[in-house]
Amino acid sequence: MLMLVLFLKNTNYQKRIPKGILNDFNMLKEEKYKKLKDIVKIYLPEDVAVKDIEQNSHFMNDLNINSANLVDIVLDVEDAFDIRLENEDMEKMQTVNDAMAIIDAKLAQD
Sketch the per residue contact string, 28 through 47, with other proteins: x for CB under 8 A, - otherwise: --------------xx----
Residue type, 92: K
Alpha helices by DSSP H, 16-95: 19-21, 29-41, 67-81, 87-92
Backbone angles phi, psi at 95, to 5 degrees: -125, 170
Q: Which of 21, 22, 75, 105 binds other proteins (CB under 8 A)?
A: 75
* CB closer to other proteins, 70 vs 100: 70
Among residues 69, 82, 97, 101, the one that binds other proteins under rule CB under 8 A: 69
Of 81, 78, 54, 59, which is closest to residue 69 (Cα–Cα)?
A: 59
Which stretches of the chain bind other proteins, using CB under 8 A? Answer: 42-43, 68-69, 71-72, 75
